[in-house]
Amino acid sequence: MLTGFGGTPGQWALRRLGSLVSRGRLLILYYHRVHLQPDPLRDADVDAASFDWQMQVLSRLFTVLPLPEAVARLQANDLPPNAVCVTFDDGYADNVEVALPILQRCNIPATFFLTTGYFGNGRMWNDTVIEAVRQAAGPTLGLAALALGEYPIATVDQRAQAAGAVLRKLKHLPRRERDAQVARMLDVLQMEVANRPMMTEEQVNDLCRAKMDIGGHTVHHPILTQIPLAEAREEIVAGKQCLEQIIGREIRLFAYPNGVPGMDYDRQHMALCRDAGFDAAVSTAWGAAAAGDDMFQLPRIAPWDQTPLRFCARLLRSYTNRRFDCA
């Protein structure tokens, strides 16, 4: 149930305040997973109950637009007050199984940026690491032989901290080196990880049948600055072509993997996206977009607040954040 706004007058006041601070600005929210229940090892993700009230806040107090429409209206300087979009990255099956029914019930459109190399019961490297730490026998996670450290894992909180530390050590390695390290980690722990959390091609089409939008997110989710430019071009183009073959229509929007300007992508990769036929691309720089911004590094925000009022307040503050781009 949506509470915490002080009734209808409070909701009206918040919407009015939003219309004053949001003029000509666009907020783009991004999510990864929506779990049925909270997962202490993935505290950056939302669960179904939290996602439900967040979508209710958006539907009541903001003007939620499909991202393609919002990009066009941003360029035309024709955005309505309180303009916001919802996006998802990577392509987890729970986006279809858990998030989609909530989106439909709240009448909210969304864009799903999909990594094509893991369709059909695939698993991304970070999911392998998290599940390995979850399953590891305690009380210590010993990965010193791999230069990944040793961590206490006697409690759930310690496991979450250990998983985060290992992920940070691996995230910016070249993809093949990173994947090899993850494989060695499983060998050291004498473990197999069985879960396959990514969506299937049929689920991609389920999103299309539900009138949701599909965007590109490469094939293997590499950090683009960590691979040769020719390989980055192939990742961007091949991912786009795969999605277009699956859904039978052209896709026009792209999300940079990890998405930090100047660290995870640069102006060369922005040019690759233009050359590939995309109309716009989104980053993970925190802020709001405005007319005149570069359409190939639109900012986004990741919601994590625990109450509707704090969530709404963060969104309103984010409309005023305008510092982001590549050097």
Cβ atoms of 215 and 254 closer than 8 Å: yes
Radius of gyration over alpha carbons of the chain, in Å? Answer: 20
Residue written as tokens 């709404």? 312
pLDDT at residue 20, rounded to an integer: 59
**Which run of H or E residues covers position 247?**
helix 229-247
- Integer Cα distance of 287 and 133 in angstroms: 33
**Which run of H or E residues covers position 142?**
strand 140-142
Residue 302 has pLDDT above 80, yes or no: yes
pLDDT per residue as tens digits for the range 115-170: 999 998 789 999 999 999 999 998 999 999 999 999 999 999 999 999 999 999 99
pLDDT per residue as tens digits for the range 230-271: 999 999 999 999 999 999 999 999 999 999 999 999 999 999
pLDDT per residue as tens digits for the range 22-37: 688 999 999 999 999 9
Of 108, 114, 19, 32, nearest in space to 67 by CA: 108
pLDDT at residue 180, rounded to an integer: 96
Instruction: Spell out the CATH class of 7-16+23-120+197-318.
Output: alpha beta
Phi then psi dihedrals of residue 297, to 5 deg: -155, 60
pLDDT at residue 10, rounded to an integer: 59
- Integer Cα distance of 242 and 162 in angstroms: 35
pLDDT at residue 313, rounded to an integer: 87
- Integer Cα distance of 265 and 23 in angstroms: 29
**Burial (CB count within 10 angstroms: exposed 0-12, middle 13-18, buried 19+), residue 55:** buried
What residue ranges do the domains of the chain occupy? 7-16+23-120+197-318, 125-189
For the chain, count helices (H), then strands (E): 12, 12
pTM of this structure: 0.93
Measured CA to CA in angstroms, residue 295 lies from 71, 75, 178, 227, 283 at distances of 8, 8, 31, 23, 10
Residue 42 has pLDDT above 80, yes or no: yes
Taking residue 263's Cβ as centre, other Cβ atoms within 10 Å add up to 13
